[in-house]
């Protein structure tokens, strides 16, 4: 049996019915392999499970915009319109049981030989988009009642019920019907060969089908036995169990990846930074305000994490003015009192300077100083600052990306804090973590508006979230002036 890797590399040319021109047209949309084609999921479905008669169609107060109708071909012809290329094939369909009613069908861009399939007296089923009052027609002139008109309908034999028809995104140069048949051929040839990375017992537990069955159902729902109206509605909304199966594949793979990463992090060792008994008293002396309940809970969460031997990876989320900086200061103070260094990195020099001013004012009340390290400092200033950090003469530092430099080392870095984390990459956070004492520092990530990547990291367990939902009394609402 083929492996997942095999199917990912099988060219679309290997699919029955796809030639070189067809394959090139698919490639223009990014579909180059059979695997890509399997994942080219329909964007909608047309419900042609019921075949209307002309009598039912004309008796209905309102008919669907897409439907299937059965009738007898009365006449057909090739119509040559004005202008180059304005040629189409047209047929009029009637029904003896519905005298005076008719359907006009027009096919554009079809070969002339297609008209030979429209033999008078032959009963057929048409399925597609229909419009009332648009069929004055050219085949036999006027009619007692306005005709329904089809544009490029699917032509089926009288005993065929089209059922549910998948609708795919547009591929330039490829007719919808031909594309649909190619995808279904791909499912028959290769769906069974895609390795299902989700274990069967897990699928059974969550009640989801195998991946190959999901592909088969989504690309040809007519193969599903006993399909209910509710399931048809779910297919149209892309909320069916087969859609959920595809999402599950991606989520499960990410979950496994993050579980492995979490195990890797759990195997690392960071400094055990105990909560000092005097922390609450020192915060009371340093901060010009009392912590809110939310801030106090966040300080406690972070304090417990810092006391553990495994590295903290916590995301602190709160609106502007919610007091994230005060929580960060508490974590830095806990770190410093344990004999380690703490660093806060900001994305801009303006923000770094503001943090340094705020933290410096609080730290000064406790006899501590704050070092600033940015890329625009003079060479002499940077050299002196690097020396103080490396020798441990500085306990608190606020800087920019310059702190990530290979020439910046710490004596005993216990905690790094990243502000506006969406402006930094995962690798950059890893650089700071690796500068820690023993090769791994605790990490606190702060964000006012977490981007989807942050939420994903939280969802899959790489970051533990803490939310500041309350706001200190009289807190400032301006982004660059609050603490």
pLDDT digits (tens, 9 = 90+) for 8-18: 899 999 999 99
Cα of first residue to Cα of last residue in the chain, in angstroms, is 61
Name every residue whose Cβ is closer than 8 Å to that of residue 233 and which is 6 or more positions away in sequence: none
- So what's the pLDDT on residue 410? 95
Structure tokens, 315: 């995301």
- So what's the pLDDT on residue 291? 94
pTM over 0.75: no
461 pLDDT band, cuts 50/70/90, is low
Task: Give CA–CA dist 312/443, Å, rounded.
Answer: 5
- So what's the pLDDT on residue 473? 65
Residue 3 pLDDT more than 70?
no
Which pLDDT tens digit goes with each residue over 85-126? 678 999 999 998 888 889 999 998 888 788 888 999 999 999
Residue 127 · residue 103 · CB < 8 Å: no
Name every residue whose Cβ is closer than 8 Å to that of residue 288 and which is 6 or more positions away in sequence: none
Nearest of 193, 127, 130 to residue 166 by alpha carbon: 127
Nearest of 33, 35, 40 to residue 4 by alpha carbon: 35
Residue 452 · residue 321 · CB < 8 Å: no
What DSSP state is assigned to residue 116?
Answer: G
Which pLDDT tens digit goes with each residue over 321-344? 889 999 999 999 999 999 999 999
Task: Supply the mean pLDDT for the chain.
Answer: 87
Residue 79 pLDDT more than 70?
yes
């Amino acid at each position: 049996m083929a492996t997942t890797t095999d199917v990912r590399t099988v060219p679309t040319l290997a699919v029955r019915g796809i030639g070189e021109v067809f394959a090139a047209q698919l490639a223009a949309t990014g579909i180059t392999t059979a695997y890509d084609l399997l994942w080219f999921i329909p964007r909608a479905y047309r419900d042609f499970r019921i075949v209307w008669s002309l009598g039912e169609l004309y008796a209905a107060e309102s008919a669907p915009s897409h439907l299937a109708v059965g009738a007898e071909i009365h006449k057909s012809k090739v119509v040559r319109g004005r202008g180059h290329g304005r040629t189409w094939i047209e047929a009029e369909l009637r029904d003896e049981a519905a005298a005076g009613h008719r359907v006009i069908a027009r096919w554009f861009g079809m070969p002339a030989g297609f008209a030979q399939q429209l033999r008078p007296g032959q009963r057929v089923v048409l399925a597609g988009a229909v419009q009332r009052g648009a069929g004055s027609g050219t085949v036999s002139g006027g009619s007692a009642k306005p005709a329904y008109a089809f544009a490029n309908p699917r032509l089926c034999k009288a005993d065929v019920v089209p059922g549910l028809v998948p609708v795919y995104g547009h591929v330039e140069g490829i007719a919808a019907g031909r594309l649909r048949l190619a995808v279904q051929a791909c499912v028959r040839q290769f769906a069974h060969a895609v390795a299902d990375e989700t274990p069967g017992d897990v699928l059974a537990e969550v009640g989801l089908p195998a991946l190959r069955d999901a592909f088969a159902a989504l690309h040809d729902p007519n193969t599903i036995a006993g399909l209910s109206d509710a399931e048809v509605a779910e297919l149209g909304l892309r909320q069916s169990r087969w859609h959920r199966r595809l999402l599950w594949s991606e989520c499960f793979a990410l979950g496994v990846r993050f579980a492995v990463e979490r195990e890797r992090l759990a195997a690392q060792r960071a400094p055990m930074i105990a909560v000092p008994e005097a922390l609450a008293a020192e915060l009371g002396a340093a901060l010009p305000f009392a912590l809110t309940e939310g801030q106090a809970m966040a300080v406690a969460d972070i304090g417990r994490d810092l006391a553990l031997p495994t590295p903290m990876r916590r995301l602190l989320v709160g609106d502007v003015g919610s007091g994230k900086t005060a929580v960060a200061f508490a974590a830095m103070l806990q770190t410093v009192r344990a004999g380690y260094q703490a660093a806060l990195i900001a994305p801009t020099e303006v923000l770094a300077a503001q943090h340094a001013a705020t933290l410096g004012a609080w730290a000064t009340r406790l006899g501590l100083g704050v070092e600033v390290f940015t890329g625009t400092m003079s060479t002499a200033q940077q050299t002196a600052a690097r020396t103080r950090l490396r020798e441990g003469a500085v306990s608190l530092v606020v800087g920019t990306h310059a702190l990530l430099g290979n020439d910046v080392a710490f004596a005993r870095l216990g905690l790094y804090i990243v502000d506006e984390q969406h402006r930094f990459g995962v690798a950059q956070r890893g650089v700071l973590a690796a500068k820690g004492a023993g090769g791994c520092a605790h990490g606190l990530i702060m964000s006012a508006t977490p981007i989807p990547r942050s939420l994903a990291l939280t969802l899959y367990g790489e970051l533990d979230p803490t939310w500041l939902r309350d706001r200190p009394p009289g807190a400032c609402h301006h982004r660059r002036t609050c603490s």
